[in-house]
Amino acid sequence: MSKDYDDMTLEELTALSKEREKKKLIKAISKEDADNEAEIKLENDTKVGEAAVAKYLEENPPKPKLNEIQTVTRDENDAPSHIEYFNKRIKASGLGYVDYAKQEEFNYASSDAGCEVDASDWKKEDVFTKLVWHNMYCTAGLREICVKGIDVNAGDGLKVQIRTVGKFSAPAQVSACTCLSCETPALSVYGLTIAQYGLETEICELDVFSIGEVLRYNIIKALAKRWDEYFDAAIYAQVATGFTPGNTETLSVDVCPAFDFSTGTGACTCSCCTDAGAYFFNAIINLEANMREGTTPYSPDYLIISPTVAAILKGKDGIAMPYIMQSQIRVEGGILTKVGSLKVIEYCGANTCASGATLAVMLDSRRAVGFAFGKPPRMEQDRNIDCDSTTVAMWCYFGTSELDVAAIGHIKNGS
């Protein structure tokens, strides 16, 4: 190796050194950006939770626990019969209270039964850490691929329309004193419809009293996380299913059977399974070229795939592949981030690698799919005095839809 360096000119060595330094800087800056984004998201989540808790405490200030038997005072002449009966039970117990389970006459059915949060696992029988694990939510921030700038205000209706202007015909060559024929571009619209969506749960105040505000805070946080997951799933459904895309690239082989890229062995259905990555990469290149060169040229900028599909390209270093393919695939921290100029989104909700499945969605984010808010998710709380509970509801008005299907391309696996 050193002999090869000795044979290189000073200019070549300088260029090589600059290229290596550039790669180091790209890796360091990318990591710094990811850390900053994670820190900002954590701060936002914390602020939302703290604001919700602060609002609740402002409306429902905590009351001190009773640590002694309170004297019951009443007007003997005007007391309703059920209060009189209850006071007799208190005196008869000799303890200053009556166990709720022994008061059959007062076991009323709760209107919240069946909806309230089951907090039995959080009861204070053990010592709990401050750490709370939330279920993992399948999110990828797919709103970034949607058409931007859509803002719907109250009173504007529920149908969002995007105006389009068609293409003029080519300029015509005419002879002297010949009039031009009139050309009219086609005017049209792409639309999506706003609808109302909601989530609701019940939080029993006795549970909050015995467990603490950590219960309410994390239930609200879980509701917010579920919205992000739902938005991503709704957007992916619009670009991946239920329509015929402008371009489709179908692989001639099934590239999904289990395969060990490090040893070159595995379950194969074709003689060239070892080149699964090359087949898939070639399909990506062909689909991008077809979209850019079609009757209406597009500029695809995103590729959405599942982690199992991305693994096909991540294994490129274990087998012999063309240098051009290896140089165009970027993996950062184990995540596939780019193929050529296309930004890759590894979305856990995308189609898994399977025979005949749509393995990848390629799109031009300027025109492919739209997402509009009438009202972003908002939280409301309602105190139920008859059930000693709080109803927590989150409402949102939004709509999403594929727009120009020709700006969307699919890669289908062979079978």
Q: Residue 132's pLDDT band (boundaries 50, 70, 90)?
A: low
Average pLDDT over the chain, rounded to an integer: 77
pLDDT digits (tens, 9 = 90+) for 203-217: 888 888 888 888 888
Q: CA-CA distance, 170 to 105, in Å (whole number)? A: 88
Cα angle vertex 57, ends 51, 58, to 5°? 85
Distance separating alpha carbons of residues 232 and 343, to the nearest angstrom: 17
Q: What local confidence, expressed as pLDDT, does residue 218 receive?
A: 85
User: Which residue would you say has higher pLDDT here, 127 or 413?
Assistant: 413
Q: How far apart are CA 208 and CA 383, in angstroms?
A: 13
Least confident of 167-171, 172-176, 327-331, 394-398: 167-171
Average pLDDT over residues 72-87: 42
Is the pLDDT assigned to residue 39 strictly greater than 80?
yes
Q: Which two tokens stand for residue 49?
A: 């939770």
**AA letter at 99:** D
| Residue 326 DSSP SS3 | helix
CA distance 287 to 411: 8
Chain centroid to Cα 340, Å, comes to: 25
When pLDDT is averaged across residues 302-314 and rounded to a whole number, the result is: 90
Looking up tokens 């639309």 gives 191
**Rounded distance, CA 169 to CA 184, Å?**
9
The per-residue pLDDT for range 95-109, each reduced to its tens digit, is: 444 343 343 333 333
Backbone angles phi, psi at 381, to 5 degrees: -125, 140
Specify the CATH architecture of the domain 113-415.
2-Layer Sandwich (3.30)
Model pLDDT, residue 149: 58
Q: Where are the domains of the chain?
A: 1-60, 73-107, 113-415
Determine contact, residues 152/372, Cβ cutoff 8 Å.
Answer: yes
Q: What is the pLDDT of residue 69?
A: 40
Pick the residue with more confidence: 322 or 70?
A: 322
Which of 54-58, 342-346, 368-372, 380-384 has the highest mean predicted lDDT (pLDDT)? 342-346
In this model, does residue 91 exceed pLDDT 70? no
Angle CA 59–62–63, to nearest 5: 125
Nearest Cα to Cα of residue 255 among 357, 330, 173, 159 = 357
Q: What pLDDT, on the 0 to 100 scale, is given for residue 412?
A: 94
Q: What share of the chain has pLDDT > 90, as a percent?
A: 18
8 Å CB contact between 44 and 228: no
pTM over 0.75: no
Per-residue model confidence (pLDDT) at position 237: 94
Dist CA 194 CA 198 (whole Å):
13
Average pLDDT of span 242-247: 91
Dump the DSSP string for 19-81.
Answer: HHHHHHHHHHHHHHHHHHHHHHHHHHHHHHHHHHHHHHHHHS---PPP-SPPPP---TTT--H
Pick the residue with more confidence: 12 or 356? 356
- Both tokens of 245, joined, read 């895309």
User: Which of 79-83, 340-344, 400-404 has the least mean pLDDT?
Assistant: 79-83
Write the CA distances from 269 to 130, 272, 274, 407, integer angstroms.
Answer: 51, 9, 11, 33
User: Would you give the DSSP letter of residue 388?
Assistant: T
